[in-house]
Amino acid sequence: MSTFSHIRGLGFYVPELCYSNKDLEKFVDTNDEWITTRTGIKQRHVVEDETCLDLTYNAAVKALANAEMEAEELTHILVGTFTGDMLIPSTACQLMERMGLKNRVAMDLSAACSGFVYALEVARALINLHPDAKILVCGAEVLTSRVNWEDRSTCVLFGDGAGAAVLTAGNDSEPGKVIDTLLSSDGGPSMNLTVQGSGSSFPYKMGDTVGDEYFIKMQGREVYKHAVRSMTAISNEILKRHNLTAEDVDVLLPHQANLRIIEAVGKKLGVPREKVFVNVDKFGNTSAASIPIGLADARESGFIKDGDLVLLATFGGGLTWGSSLIQF
């Protein structure tokens, strides 16, 4: 009996306040038609009083309930995020405290939108090292705290939310098996997608105020091309590695950044549109939360059924990208 990592439970949480494209029209020079045709986004959830920790906690509670497990059983907590409440302590350590736990391994992981899939692979490695590990893997972001609401080319794209998965070891025949993950990154084109403020290359000096470097900046076209190329290539690679083809894929769940990117990746891979999961219309781009929100949403809605082979494809700042195969 081989040891595999299995997803035992999934959950997601988004704040209640929701801005439609029409709402944004009131304070940004944009319109519903542009946002819909260029991105597929119709609305996004936005925090009022809640923080990244609150979103992560609520998603974690749901994932644990879905796994029929108690927080007490967890051995490791991993959180993919770049918009945690603070630089130190990590969101994972704060989450451990919120859940009433002590003496666990807790850490945040920074791989921008690929944060959850990167953390999933770290969890898989940890389970191989420690087969008794019970690991909470979260992706959570409050991106609206890092968008420049005067920059229409970025502020319409992002939303807030969190998703979580509970992983433990299992055997080959059990559902939720993470068959494999492939990751990659390239620092060359990294300046196409940045959040520079709070980093040491922008030291705070007396009298400074927050400037443009504090916000998400993106060369949209460049990022778009790289996203389509890299997600397609790494998805093909992982399928090939397991002697699978697009025909074997029951559900393709790409990072929910832009409907045009999602559809282009599906088309290039040869996965029919009806097998491609989309919820970018409801949540916008939630970065590291996008894949776990997608998994939980697709499972809850029945889009991912028992026995389905699910192909994840992710992409984000770094630049980072990756792909996972999961048998539900």
Token duo for residue 259: 């409907």
Of 13-21, 33-41, 82-90, 197-205, the segment contacting ligand UT7 by CB under 6 A is 33-41
113 lies in the site for ligand UT7, by CB under 6 A: yes
What b-and-e string marks burial along 253-291, b requiring 16 or more CB atoms within 10 Å of the CB? bbbbbbbebbbbbbebbebeeebbbbbbebbbbbbbbbb
For the CB of residue 34, give the shortest distance to ligand UT7 in the complex, in Å. 4
153 lies in the site for ligand UT7, by CB under 6 A: yes
Token duo for residue 25: 């029209």
Chosen residue from 34, 69, 89, 275 binding ligand UT7 by CB under 6 A? 34
Q: Can 113 be counted among the known catalytic residues? A: yes
Token duo for residue 213: 């470097």
156 lies in the site for ligand UT7, by CB under 6 A: yes
d(CA 151, CA 27): 11
d(CA 258, CA 314): 12
38 lies in the site for ligand UT7, by CB under 6 A: yes
HEC string of 147-191 equals CCCCCHHHHCCECEEEEEEEEEEECCCCCCEEEEEEEEECCCCHH
Q: Can 45 be counted among the known catalytic residues? A: no
Chosen residue from 26, 102, 205, 221 binding ligand UT7 by CB under 6 A? 221
**Residue 151 burial (C-beta neighbours within 10 Å; 0-12, 13-18, 19+):** middle
d(CA 210, CA 197): 8
For the CB of residue 227, give the shortest distance to ligand UT7 in the complex, in Å. 5
CB closer to ligand UT7, 189 vs 220: 220
Q: Can 18 be counted among the known catalytic residues? A: no
Of 67-75, 206-214, 219-227, 274-282, the segment contacting ligand UT7 by CB under 6 A is 219-227
Q: Which residue has the tokens 């929910």?
A: 256
Which residue has its beta carbon closest to ligand UT7? 220
142 lies in the site for ligand UT7, by CB under 6 A: no
Active site members: 113, 255, 285
Give the residues lining the site for ligand UT7 (CB under 6 A).
30, 34-35, 38-39, 113, 152-153, 156, 220-221, 223-224, 227, 257-258, 261, 285, 287, 316
